[in-house]
Amino acid sequence: MAIEEMEKKYRISDIARELQVSPQEVLQFVKLEGGKVASTSSMVDQGMRELIFGHFSNEKKMVDETMKIRQEKQRRLSRLEEQSRKTYEKERQLKETLHSASVAPAVHEEKKELFVPEVKPVVPETDELVLAKQVEEIEQIEEPVQLEQPVLTDQTDRADRADQTDQTDQADRTDQADRTDRTDQADQVDQPVQEEPLEEAPVPKELPVKEEPSVNEQLVSFETPKNIGGLTVIGTLDMHSPFDRSSEAERKKKNRKKNFKEQADALKSEFDTTVKEEVAADEKGTVKKKPAKPPGETNAAAPAGTASTAGAQPIKKGKKKKKPDVNDKVISANIRTTISGMDDSGGTGSRQKFRKLRKIERERESEAAEAFRESQQMIVRVTEYASPHELADLMGVTAKDIIQKCFSLGKFVTINQRLDKESIELIALEFGFEAEFISEVEATAVLIEADEPEDMQIRPPVITIMGHVDHGKTSLLDYIRNSNVVAGESGGITQHIGAYEVTVEADRKITFLDTPGHEAFTAMRARGAQVTDIVILVVAADDSVMPQTIEAINHAKAAGVPIVVAINKVDKPEANPEKIKTQLSEAGVLVEEWGGEHQCQEISAKKGIGIAELMEKVLAEAEIRELKGNFSRDINASGIIVESELDKGKGVISTVLVQRGFLKIGDPFVAGNTMGKIRALMDERGKRILFAGPSQPVRVLGFEDLPQSGDVLTVMSSDRDARDLAQKRQVIRREHEFRRSTRVKLDSIARQIKEGLMKELSMIIKADTDGSIQALADGLMKIQNEEVKVQIIHQGVGQITETDVLLAAASDAIIIGFRVRPNVNAKKLAEKEDLDVRFYSVIYHVLEDVEKALEGMLSPELHEESLGSLEVRQVFRVPKVGNVGGCYMLEGKVFRDSKVRLLREGVQIYDGQLDALRRFKDDVKEVDAGYECGVSLKNYDDIKVGDIVEAYRIVEKKRKL
Ligand SMILES: Nc1nc2c(ncn2[C@@H]2O[C@H](COP(=O)(O)OP(=O)(O)OP(=O)(O)O)[C@@H](O)[C@H]2O)c(=O)[nH]1
């Protein structure tokens, strides 16, 4: 075994991956150790592997630590999930218990009554009472039980079941309670029959009257009840219980899985049962007077004999046998009742049902919220770069505890020192918390008082129009804006304000977000501002469902926003709306007329065809959603910034979509990192208004600074509160920016080393040739002092790509471009990420800079500033001058005296000066982006099509400390 292990070979790259270090580094180490290896795919033996692991023990430790953290996180996560699941389960059980408890008293009450000698007058009453209670519980019908009520109840029940499976559970519980009830009765029936005088006998005979609710039960469970499984006292039923229980379980299972067919069967069985009742009643000749009794009597045989013997089958058979005796009148009466029960959906019954559904929904929501709250208790919401002091406050420990913990983790921190993300995560974990990073605005969120139900009123829907380029989004918005959808509104809205309100008909309003395209929609959503209620998806009927249509669908679906389809350009002869509908269905948007859920309207944004109908459909969709807003005038209003601009005369003007309460002139507010006091409010027509309520877009004047789209504007109680909060946010923001700007930069590296923040300087090297890389890597690896060492995390030949930049950003590395440049995207990304990307042409300069940087001696006062880039699209041979590049200015500007470098596939092949810059035949001083020009280079002739000429200048830059 040991020998086998010794003989086992390991690939260098695999070892490197295990250690999460660069394979080149491992390769180098192996070479240094005398290993005969050619590349990172070479194999090494166990001995060498151990040596490598020894050498990279720190890295190994880090990998192990990370793994540990990850596992711990996973463990905690599943624990939290388990916790919330348990809570949910517990509450559900509690609810069930409560529910059955509320049914139980009825049973006892009933039981007591059974032993009262003069039962006759009492029993029916009790019976009705019990029934009424059950009915109430199932249906919440408050009226007293009437003759036909059981049937109605059942039918409504059935409708409920169709709607919601929960109802079945409830019904099941009632069912069970009934059965308990019956079992008890049955048991007690036996006793009185034997012990009490004969005159008591009618009482038990009446007892089956209790079976009246069992009609209910039957209808709920679809089968005649049989043995109830000895739920309470006497054990004689146990003989049958195994069989019965299993059939009971099956039945329940069936009930849960019931489909339409089963429901239809149930309906049939209901008729059967009722027929049975009716027939029995006929037999007794007491048909209408007390409908509760006859069925009871019919079923009397069941408990008497059944309590111990009968199962489901005999009863079923019995039913079937009785079918031929069915009275047609009874059937049609039942059908009528059933249908009327169904038709009732628009009446009180449906309202009650709806209320009941809402109640259940609310209960569920509160349960989920509770479970969520519990799980949240162990999450510490913290801003990035929080100090030990702040973190301690959030976790309810002392800063000293945190510093000590850091100490034990090998980190030396002071009370106010900012901690990085990883450290915060690690420390939080040590204290049993999970760190969740939030923005400064979130961290300083304003507490919003709960909405009072009486303040909630229907508000206009907020609509965003999305669709593919040229499918007519702008045309539709323009038409809506300018049309006279309602007389008197024509041509009213002239300004572009990002959002406006349209009155459609009968004073019904719709708010449009005038930010066509899903980018704005997504950007707002990314900032946590979900303002759109409904998306209008525009698809041109003369075109097809296009990539952006699909994207829009996906965005709307991801945001859970309903889509109303507008098939545009139907005025065109080549329009084919049916094709669009087919394609939409393939994309997962099935229109209503095809049985789907999405409303669809054919329109012509150009001619105004179908726009009013489209608005109607949008309003209908909004109605279904019951969009409500808080219309209280006493609460502090809030809204979302849709867009902002800086007006020379008026200062900052922002379009705000009010979400809660009323914005009023004079209100102090915070919005993101800025604050202000409302100086003026204007509607979309530029008319001054005094206040604006929910879903109303309004132009607000009075900001101190420009807020960002998606920021929440919250009215504060006083100017002072607003200022305090805004200042707090600004401080956190500044800290973040400061920390971000301390991303590893050669200029400031020494300070970070001194602060103990840096132990390793990570670098990515991209160079023109493999030779340069080797030379650079060798040189750089040698540079290290006691506090810090250089680590090359990636190296490669060729231009600097986005992947390199992303890697550098993720690992806080510096990129060295040796005679290579980044491509356009990589350059933009590097700027965005504020990464230090340095370009060199002499190896010695690289080494010198890095060495100096580590010592804190680096003073890079001269910096290069990129001016623009040109693409060579044609090469002309000009006699006496040489080759001239016919170029297109891609971005920026080029000046006649610019320094330039020529790049071929990202690799620098020339660095020098422009020789000539021309437009047509004229010499020009500069050329802007988007123009063509002719370019020749000083002392360089080998220009080729596809080359990039990069213009730059050297500027002095203040040294960062
Ligand atoms: N015949 C006809 N042409 C239309 C209709 N709606 C829009 N167009 C034309 O289609 C072209 C594109 O319309 P836009 O409203 O600019 O389309 P868009 O989706 O906003 O395009 P982008 O803003 O580029 O995304 C314009 O030339 C419109 O005149 C219509 O209902 N019928």
Residue 493 has pLDDT above 70, yes or no: no
685 alpha carbon – ligand 1 mean position (Å): 25
Nearest-atom index, ligand 1, CA of 478: 15
pLDDT band at 120 (very low <50, low <70, confident <90, very high): very low
Q: Going by C-beta distance under 8 Å and a sequence separation of 6 or more, which residues neighbour residue 360? A: 164, 166
Of the candidates 765, 743, 763, the one whose C-alpha atom is nearest the C-alpha of residue 752 is 743
pLDDT band at 350 (very low <50, low <70, confident <90, very high): low
The reply to whether ligand 1 has any atom less than 6 angstroms from the CB of 548 is no
- Please check whether residue 233 lies inside any domain of the structure: no
527 plus 608 within the same structural domain: yes
Which of residues 743, 762, 787 is at a domain's end?
A: 743
Q: Which residue has the tokens 């504020």?
A: 834
Q: What value, to the nearest 5°, has the Cα angle with vertex 589 and ends 620 and 619?
A: 10
d(Cα 138, Cα 153) in Å, to the nearest integer? Answer: 8
pLDDT band at 662 (very low <50, low <70, confident <90, very high): very high
Q: What share of the chain is helix, strand, coil (3-state, %, to 5)?
A: 50, 20, 30
b/e burial code for range 405-423 (CB count within 10 A of at least 16 → b): bbeeeebebeeebbbeeeb
473 alpha carbon – ligand 1 mean position (Å): 7
Nearest-atom index, ligand 1, CA of 471: 19
Q: Is 570 annotated as a binding residue?
A: yes
Helix (H, G, I), strand (E, B), or coil: what is residue 700?
strand
Average pLDDT over residues 937-957: 85
Closest-CA residue, ligand 1 atom 9, reads 472
Average pLDDT over residues 864-888: 87
Of 95-99, 168-172, 381-385, 434-438, give the lowest mean pLDDT range.
Answer: 168-172
Q: Is 812 annotated as a binding residue?
A: no
Higher pLDDT, 479 or 349: 479
pLDDT score recorded for residue 449:
74
512 alpha carbon – ligand 1 mean position (Å): 18
pLDDT score recorded for residue 598:
92
Find the CATH number of the domain harbouring 909: 2.40.30.10
Q: Is 947 annotated as a binding residue?
A: no
The reply to whether ligand 1 has any atom less than 6 angstroms from the CB of 469 is yes
- Please check whether residue 316 lies inside any domain of the structure: no
Q: In angstroms, how far is the first alpha carbon of the chain from the final one?
A: 59
The reply to whether ligand 1 has any atom less than 6 angstroms from the CB of 650 is no
Find the CATH number of the domain harbouring 404: 1.10.10
H-only helix segments in 377-398? 388-395
The reply to whether ligand 1 has any atom less than 6 angstroms from the CB of 470 is yes
Average pLDDT over residues 500-517: 78
697 alpha carbon – ligand 1 mean position (Å): 25
Q: Is 516 annotated as a binding residue?
A: yes
pLDDT score recorded for residue 763:
85
The reply to whether ligand 1 has any atom less than 6 angstroms from the CB of 515 is no
Q: What are phi and psi of 226, to 5 degrees?
A: -130, -125
Higher pLDDT, 242 or 328: 328
Mean pLDDT, all residues of the chain: 70
Give the DSSP letter of residue 140: -
pLDDT score recorded for residue 725:
85
521 alpha carbon – ligand 1 mean position (Å): 20
735 plus 794 within the same structural domain: no
Which token pair is 746?
Answer: 């050669």
Closest-CA residue, ligand 1 atom 2, reads 569
d(Cα 439, Cα 736) in Å, to the nearest integer? Answer: 10
Q: Is 469 annotated as a binding residue?
A: yes
pLDDT band at 539 (very low <50, low <70, confident <90, very high): very high
CA distances (Å), origin 408, targets 63, 196, 427, 923: 18, 82, 10, 69
805 plus 920 within the same structural domain: no
d(Cα 623, Cα 808) in Å, to the nearest integer? Answer: 51
Q: Going by C-beta distance under 8 Å and a sequence separation of 6 or more, which residues neighbour residue 711? A: 441, 527, 529, 640, 641, 671, 672
Closest-CA residue, ligand 1 atom 13, reads 472
The reply to whether ligand 1 has any atom less than 6 angstroms from the CB of 549 is no
pLDDT score recorded for residue 727:
84
594 plus 711 within the same structural domain: no
- Please check whether residue 283 lies inside any domain of the structure: no
pLDDT score recorded for residue 199:
39
Say what the pTM is: 0.43
Query: How many contiguous H segments (helices) and E segments (strands) does the chain have?
Result: 31, 33
Higher pLDDT, 125 or 102: 102
Which of residues 725, 743, 761 is at a domain's end?
A: 743
Nearest-atom index, ligand 1, CA of 607: 31
pLDDT digits (tens, 9 = 90+) for 47-83: 888 888 888 887 788 778 777 877 877 787 777 778 7
Strands (E), 599-708: 600-602, 628-630, 638-647, 651-660, 663-664, 668-671, 674-682, 688-689, 691-692, 697-703
d(Cα 473, Cα 514) in Å, to the nearest integer? Answer: 10
Residue 139 has pLDDT above 70, yes or no: no
pLDDT band at 908 (very low <50, low <70, confident <90, very high): confident
Strands (E), 304-452: 379-383, 434-438
Q: Is 518 annotated as a binding residue?
A: yes
Closest-CA residue, ligand 1 atom 14, reads 472
Average pLDDT over residues 197-219: 38
**For the chain, what is the radius of gyration of the CA atoms?**
39
Residue 331 has pLDDT above 80, yes or no: no
Q: Is 467 annotated as a binding residue?
A: yes
The reply to whether ligand 1 has any atom less than 6 angstroms from the CB of 467 is yes
Average pLDDT over residues 701-715: 86
890 alpha carbon – ligand 1 mean position (Å): 29
Strands 814-818, 760-767: pairing is: parallel
CA 372 to chain centre: 15
- Please check whether residue 24 lies inside any domain of the structure: yes
475 burial type by CB count under 10 A (0-12 exposed, 13-18 middle, 19+ buried): middle
Helix (H, G, I), strand (E, B), or coil: what is residue 306?
helix
471 alpha carbon – ligand 1 mean position (Å): 5
Q: How many other β-carbons are positioned within 10 Å of the β-carbon of residue 505?
A: 11
pLDDT score recorded for residue 518:
58
CA 800 to chain centre: 35
SS (HEC) of 26-67: HHHHHHHCCCCCCCCCCEEEHHHHHHHHHHCHHHHHHHHHHH
pLDDT digits (tens, 9 = 90+) for 422-465: 778 888 888 888 887 776 666 666 767 778 888 888 999 999 88
pLDDT band at 700 (very low <50, low <70, confident <90, very high): very high
- Residue 428 near residue 380 (C-beta atoms within 8 A): yes
Element (H, E) at 734: helix 719-741
pLDDT band at 738 (very low <50, low <70, confident <90, very high): low
Q: Going by C-beta distance under 8 Å and a sequence separation of 6 or more, which residues neighbour residue 960? A: 741, 745, 747, 748
Residue 958 has pLDDT above 50, yes or no: no
Average pLDDT over residues 286-315: 36
- Bridge partners (DSSP) listed for residue 889: 870
Q: Is 486 annotated as a binding residue?
A: no
Q: Candidates 469, 473, 475, 477: which one to mutate for ligand 1, based on the most atoms within 8 Å of Cβ?
A: 475
Strands 922-923, 862-878: pairing is: unpaired
808 plus 874 within the same structural domain: no
- Residue 8 near residue 43 (C-beta atoms within 8 A): no
873 plus 846 within the same structural domain: no
- Residue 175 near residue 222 (C-beta atoms within 8 A): no
Higher pLDDT, 681 or 644: 681
Closest-CA residue, ligand 1 atom 27, reads 470
pLDDT score recorded for residue 887:
93
562 alpha carbon – ligand 1 mean position (Å): 23
477 alpha carbon – ligand 1 mean position (Å): 10
880 plus 851 within the same structural domain: no
The proportion of the chain whose per-residue pLDDT surpasses 90, expressed as a percent, equals 12
Strands 43-45, 9-11: pairing is: antiparallel
575 alpha carbon – ligand 1 mean position (Å): 14
The reply to whether ligand 1 has any atom less than 6 angstroms from the CB of 610 is no
Question: Total domain count for the chain?
Answer: 6
Q: What are phi and psi of 463, to 5 degrees?
A: -115, 140
Closest-CA residue, ligand 1 atom 21, reads 470
pLDDT digits (tens, 9 = 90+) for 554-595: 878 878 889 999 999 999 999 999 999 999 999 889 998 888
537 alpha carbon – ligand 1 mean position (Å): 14
pLDDT score recorded for residue 6:
54
d(Cα 615, Cα 407) in Å, to the nearest integer? Answer: 64
- Residue 598 near residue 604 (C-beta atoms within 8 A): no
Q: Is 514 annotated as a binding residue?
A: yes
The reply to whether ligand 1 has any atom less than 6 angstroms from the CB of 240 is no
Give the total residue count for the chain.
961
What single letter denotes the amino acid at residue 651?
G
Higher pLDDT, 519 or 298: 519
Residue 306 has pLDDT above 80, yes or no: no
pLDDT band at 372 (very low <50, low <70, confident <90, very high): low
497 plus 560 within the same structural domain: yes
Could you please report the per-residue DSSP string of 611-622? Answer: HHHHHHHHHHHH
Which token pair is 781?
Answer: 């690896």
Nearest-atom index, ligand 1, CA of 603: 31
**In terms of residue numbers, what domain contains 946?**
860-958
Q: Is 568 annotated as a binding residue?
A: yes
Closest-CA residue, ligand 1 atom 8, reads 472
The reply to whether ligand 1 has any atom less than 6 angstroms from the CB of 474 is yes
pLDDT score recorded for residue 320:
39
426 plus 531 within the same structural domain: no
Q: What is the ipTM of this complex?
A: 0.98
Which of residues 816, 836, 857 is at a domain's end?
A: 857
573 burial type by CB count under 10 A (0-12 exposed, 13-18 middle, 19+ buried): exposed
Q: Candidates 465, 470, 476, 535: which one to mutate for ligand 1, based on the most atoms within 8 Å of Cβ?
A: 470
Q: Candidates 468, 474, 601: which one to mutate for ligand 1, based on the most atoms within 8 Å of Cβ?
A: 474
- Please check whether residue 420 lies inside any domain of the structure: yes
CA 513 to chain centre: 21
474 alpha carbon – ligand 1 mean position (Å): 7
The reply to whether ligand 1 has any atom less than 6 angstroms from the CB of 772 is no
Phi-psi region of 160 (alpha: psi -120 to 50; beta: other; left: phi over 0): alpha
- Residue 834 near residue 740 (C-beta atoms within 8 A): yes
- Please check whether residue 486 lies inside any domain of the structure: yes
pLDDT score recorded for residue 735:
66
- Bridge partners (DSSP) listed for residue 922: 919
483 plus 587 within the same structural domain: yes
Q: Is 34 annotated as a binding residue?
A: no
- Please check whether residue 353 lies inside any domain of the structure: no
Greatest pairwise CA separation for the chain in angstroms? 136
d(Cα 695, Cα 713) in Å, to the nearest integer? Answer: 14
472 alpha carbon – ligand 1 mean position (Å): 3
602 plus 717 within the same structural domain: no
Average pLDDT over residues 244-265: 48
- Please check whether residue 406 lies inside any domain of the structure: yes
The reply to whether ligand 1 has any atom less than 6 angstroms from the CB of 605 is yes
476 alpha carbon – ligand 1 mean position (Å): 8
CA distances (Å), origin 896, targets 140, 397, 934: 86, 64, 11
473 plus 594 within the same structural domain: yes
Q: Candidates 518, 539, 606: which one to mutate for ligand 1, based on the most atoms within 8 Å of Cβ?
A: 606
The reply to whether ligand 1 has any atom less than 6 angstroms from the CB of 472 is yes
475 alpha carbon – ligand 1 mean position (Å): 5
Which token pair is 397?
Answer: 């420990």
Q: Going by C-beta distance under 8 Å and a sequence separation of 6 or more, which residues neighbour residue 470? A: 540, 543
Q: Is 897 annotated as a binding residue?
A: no
Closest-CA residue, ligand 1 atom 7, reads 472
Nearest-atom index, ligand 1, CA of 469: 25
